[in-house]
Structure 1
Amino acid sequence: MAKVRTKDIIEKFNMELLSGEEGVNRPIITSDISRPGLEIAGYFEYYPAERLQLLGKTELSFFEKLNPSERVSRMEKLCTDITPGIIVTRNMEVPAELIEAAEHESVPVMRSDLKTTRLSSHLTNFLESKLAPTTAVHGVLVDVYGIGVLITGKSGVGKSETALELVKRGHRLVADDCVEIRQEDLGTLVGNSPELIEHLLEIRGLGIINVMTLFGAGAVRSHKRISLIINLEIWDQKKSYDRLGLDEEKMKIIDTEITKLTVPVRPGRNLAVIIEVAAMNFRLKRMGVNAAEQFTSRLADVIEEGDQEDM
């Protein structure tokens, strides 16, 4: 099923459809935009027909200088059975040759009042967001002090209860149980909740609660960039857990690696406070302040001083 069709572009950017109404359901498979200047000049060797085509002032002013047969030929080659649409910018007059060729191949011809460069930028951002690689992860996504924290762990470990405590402490819920993740750019993962369970939290013993209804609009948000993953697991006495924080574990989602912390769960541990501190410490590390490295450095200095005194 296509993620984006030409009709979505028309609705999103309030464009005027002038021709090719039969083709408004054509899929858009790439976020790349083409300005077919070379093609209008006659060079179709590498014509990217599968892209949206933008005709601005430069392209149309050159087109007007062509003779009648060239004008017809260029527009016929521009309109193919896989072209999702041709957009004329700046509310300029659309050539009759384009309308005729587009009707023949059912290529939607649209008109926008935006400047070509600005429209190209808006279209690219919109398409990259819609066509970004996506996946779904079982967990809870919370905005803690501006840091998108993805809480993972086995079912029943206490993810939702921890998220509820974080919401009570003033942080914001993004998604519970299922987190839809899209890679908007290399190194950038954005998570959101499926529409069906948006703003809902499942607490065993209570059932499903609506966080926005209970705590207000300030307790939720629709999406958040994921910066930190905290994996909750039942405390295992035989396992050795990191006590300094020098080793940084990573978890790969799609093509992006995210810092991952493993927090053991046992009675008496306040997980909400631990996650708050983890988020603040993560921010400090990004600012260049690493408490574990500073401690290790001071410890090495003390040991070195002790060795010198023994001599």
Structure 2
Amino acid sequence: MASVAGNDLADSVTVADLVENIRLDVIYGDDLLDDREISTSDISRPGLELTGYFNYYPAKRVQLLGITETSFAKGMSHDELLSVMRQMCQPETPAFVISTQLEPPEELLQAAKENQIPILGTKMTTSRVLSNMTNYLEGQLAERQSLHGVLVDIYGVGVLITGDSGVGKSETALELVKRGHRLIADDRVEVYQQDEQTLVGAAPAILAHLLEIRGIGIIDVMNLFGAGAVRSETDIELIVHLEAWSADKRFDRLGNGDETQKIFDVEIPKISIPVKTGRNLAIIIEAAAMNFRARSMGYDATKVFDQNLNRLIQQNSNKKSK
């Protein structure tokens, strides 16, 4: 599999995708879902618009109506509400979503039918469906970067294994899968930034569950090891860079290095591991993931070693002074 790196444009999302992934009900417009595209992850709650203020109406957003909006609409006259709903039903408006299993106003149904805009419903509260739709759309519409490497879930830690071609990344991933860990992506990892502190990695659809081993070819990890051996995506929390052993290269021996790699706006901790004949890379990377997890929970073996060393130095100093 050829390696690819660079930035990819975000994929488009249709209303049909939104319905399927958020599990929304279709009140009107079953045949319109595939043709309506969503281009922004922002969701609009049209409060001011119901009062007739359309100077800054975000027509390209999904329009979400909850208890507040529908209650306000009930106090409006038929002609006034129909006029507002017709202004809200713009050609670029993807869909309307009605939360909390509420009935959509008849005026909205009429205006939506006139302009061929789907109306969706859900049992979820307004806050819940807003959060679910935002998270889904941000993940789908975020800018993506393709990185050369292998992404594995090790004890719940997303580890991105990088290194030159032929250094043994895929073979190491295979050994990790055999040890009970889960493969996310081999060779090419699609990365996007979920928020200010979180990077998410996934496999391109064409490479999902596949692993290339030199001398064997491409193997299907899910077919060979079962569904528990793969994941569709995971947060990237640690980068392990494999480097060919060199006597001139200095590697961190005590674990007190603070090397990081910046991807988008997120700094990810990075460690470099020398590759040398006889080293079991899978076990070393497994230990690195466990050590990272321990440090994130407050235990730092390097600090413990420093404390023990300082204590020993102090004891020896006290003995000499007596």
TM-score, normalised relative to structure 2: 0.86
2:269 corresponds, among 259, 265, 285, to 259
Q: Is the Cα contact below 8 Å between 1:228 and 1:260 reproduced in 2?
A: yes
User: Structure 2 vs 1, CA of residues 167 and 109 (structure 1 numbering), >3 Å: closer, same or farther?
Assistant: closer
Give the distance between the partners of 2:257 and 2:47, measured in 1 at CA: 53
The aligned counterpart of 1:166 is 176
User: Which shifted more, 268-277 or 78-87?
Assistant: 78-87
The aligned counterpart of 1:15 is 25
User: Structure 2 vs 1, CA of residues 83 and 20 (structure 1 numbering), >3 Å: closer, same or farther?
Assistant: farther
Residue ranges of structure 2 left out of the alignment (5+ in a row): 1-9
Q: Is the Cα contact below 8 Å between 2:11 and 2:140 reproduced in 1?
A: no
The aligned counterpart of 1:209 is 219
Q: Is the Cα contact below 8 Å between 1:230 and 1:261 reproduced in 2?
A: yes
Give the CA deviation at 1:110: 3.0
Please list the CA deviations of residues 235-257 of structure 1 after superposition, one character each: whole Å capped at 9, or x if unmatched. Answer: 12111111111112111122211
How do residues 155-304 of structure 1 correspond to structure 2 at under 5 angstroms?
Answer: 155-304=165-314
For 2:204, the aligned partner's letter is P
Please list the CA deviations of residues 105-148 of structure 1 after superposition, one character each: whole Å capped at 9, or x if unmatched. Answer: 44333344444333323322322332233222111112222222
SS state at 2:272 partner:
strand
Give the CA deviation at 1:21: 5.8
Give the distance between the partners of 1:69 and 1:94, measured in 2 at CA: 16
Give the distance between the partners of 1:278 and 1:257, measured in 2 at CA: 18
Give the distance between the partners of 2:33 and 2:155, measured in 1 at CA: 47
User: Do residues 80 (structure 1) and 90 (structure 2) align?
Assistant: yes
The aligned counterpart of 1:51 is 61
Give the CA deviation at 1:261: 0.6
Q: Is the Cα contact below 8 Å between 1:157 and 1:234 reproduced in 2?
A: yes
Give the distance between the partners of 1:2 and 1:120, measured in 2 at CA: 21
Residue ranges of structure 1 left out of the alignment (5+ in a row): none
User: Do residues 5 (structure 1) and 14 (structure 2) align?
Assistant: yes
For 1:287, the aligned partner's letter is M
For 1:221, the aligned partner's letter is R
2:73 corresponds, among 63, 81, 94, to 63
Give the distance between the partners of 1:297 and 1:92, measured in 2 at CA: 62
For 2:219, the aligned partner's letter is I
Over aligned residues, Cα RMSD in angstroms? 2.5
User: Paired residues, what number?
Assistant: 311
Please list the CA deviations of residues 54-109 of structure 1 after superposition, one character each: whole Å capped at 9, or x if unmatched. Answer: 22333223222223432232112222232221223345443343234334444333
User: Do residues 110 (structure 1) and 120 (structure 2) align?
Assistant: yes
Give the distance between the partners of 1:10 and 1:281, measured in 2 at CA: 41
Q: Is the Cα contact below 8 Å between 1:20 and 1:102 reproduced in 2?
A: no
Please list the CA deviations of residues 216-274 of structure 1 after superposition, one character each: whole Å capped at 9, or x if unmatched. Answer: 33322222222211100101211111111111211112221111110011112111111
Give the distance between the partners of 1:276 and 1:46, measured in 2 at CA: 53
Give the distance between the partners of 1:217 and 1:45, measured in 2 at CA: 52
User: Structure 2 vs 1, CA of residues 109 and 165 (structure 1 numbering), >3 Å: closer, same or farther?
Assistant: closer
User: Which shifted more, 222-231 or 150-159?
Assistant: 222-231
Give the distance between the partners of 1:168 and 1:18, measured in 2 at CA: 49
For 1:237, the aligned partner's letter is A
Give the distance between the partners of 1:144 and 1:229, measured in 2 at CA: 12
For 2:47, the aligned partner's letter is G
Please list the CA deviations of residues 3-44 of structure 1 after superposition, one character each: whole Å capped at 9, or x if unmatched. Answer: 212232234424225259668533322222222122212333
User: Structure 2 vs 1, CA of residues 148 and 301 (structure 1 numbering), >3 Å: closer, same or farther?
Assistant: same
User: Structure 2 vs 1, CA of residues 116 and 285 (structure 1 numbering), >3 Å: closer, same or farther?
Assistant: closer
Give the distance between the partners of 1:203 and 1:20, measured in 2 at CA: 45
1:35 corresponds, among 27, 45, 49, to 45
